[in-house]
């Protein structure tokens, strides 16, 4: 699995002209599911994301996690994170898992994150055409791949 984490002041997902979900201070997570991904990848990412110290403490240092600040999280599925761009000018998505594999893993990711944070995880709609709005805080943007642990 690949994720792009963005520390945000706020973020929202709009579908068909209506706000579907929104958060205030916390993390916007774009999640890409690959053919080789499994629940072990989810466990590792959920722990890493929830405990990653990327929020500022009273001294302005990144020493606090999402859990520490009781921040919110918005998770959006994004198969394009699995793009291969080595050849030509058209990305290949051959490494992106098909919906019959990626949808259940995305749902498990949401449930596991919800359990760890003990709060409602906000999300997009798997496979929907979504407009994402955000105010990046910092900016802080981090790319993670569960295969590179």
Catalytic residue ranges: 78-80
Helix (H/G/I), strand (E/B), else coil: 83: coil
Contacts 24+ apart (CB under 8 A), 126-130: 126/77, 126/99, 126/102, 127/77, 127/99, 127/103, 128/15, 129/15, 130/13, 130/14, 130/15, 130/20, 130/76
Per DSSP, what are the bridge partners of residue 49? Answer: none
Distance between CA atoms of 28 and 86, rounded to whole angstroms? 27
Cβ atoms within 10 Å, residue 31:
27
């Amino acid at each position: 699995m690949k994720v792009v984490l963005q520390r945000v002041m706020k973020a929202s997902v709009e579908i068909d002209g209506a706000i579907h979900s929104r958060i205030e201070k916390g993390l916007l997570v774009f999640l890409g599911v690959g053919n080789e991904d499994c629940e072990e990848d989810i466990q590792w990412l959920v722990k890493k994301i929830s405990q990653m110290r990327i929020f500022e403490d009273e001294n302005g240092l990144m020493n606090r996690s999402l859990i520490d600040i009781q921040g919110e999280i918005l998770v959006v599925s994004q198969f394009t994170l699995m793009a291969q761009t080595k050849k030509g000018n058209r990305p290949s998505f051959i490494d992106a898992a098909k919906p019959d594999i990626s949808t259940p893993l995305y749902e498990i990711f949401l449930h596991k994150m919800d359990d760890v944070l003990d709060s409602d995880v906000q999300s997009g709609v798997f496979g929907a055409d979504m407009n994402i709005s955000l105010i990046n805080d910092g900016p802080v943007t981090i790319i993670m791949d569960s295969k590179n642990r």
